[in-house]
Amino acid sequence: MLLTAGGIVFILLGLSGVYFFVMQGIKPAWLQWNVFTLCSCYIDTKTFAFIPNNQGDELAVAFYCLGWLLLIYRSKRSLLNKQALVVGMFMLGYLLLHGLAVVYFIGACLISTPPILAFGDTFKKQYIKNWLRLK
- Whether 135 shows a pLDDT value over 60: the answer reads no
- At 123 the pLDDT is 56
CA distance 107 to 101: 10
- At 134 the pLDDT is 62
- Alpha helices (H) along the chain: 2-17, 56-76, 82-96, 100-119, 125-134
Average pLDDT of the residues in 21-42: 93
SS3 37: strand
Residue 81 pLDDT level (bands cut at 50, 70, 90): confident
Average pLDDT of the residues in 16-33: 95
Average pLDDT of the residues in 83-107: 92
Nearest CA to 95 out of 51, 44, 37 is that of 37
CA distance 16 to 10: 10
Q: Which amino acid is at 37?
A: T
Convert the pLDDT of each residue in 104-125 to its tens digit: 999 999 998 888 777 766 555 5
Q: Which amino acid is at 35?
A: V
- At 130 the pLDDT is 67
CA distance 122 to 128: 10
CA distance 92 to 96: 6
- Whether 36 shows a pLDDT value over 80: the answer reads yes
Residue 89 or residue 116, greater confidence: 89
CA distance 133 to 2: 48
Mean pLDDT value across the chain? 88
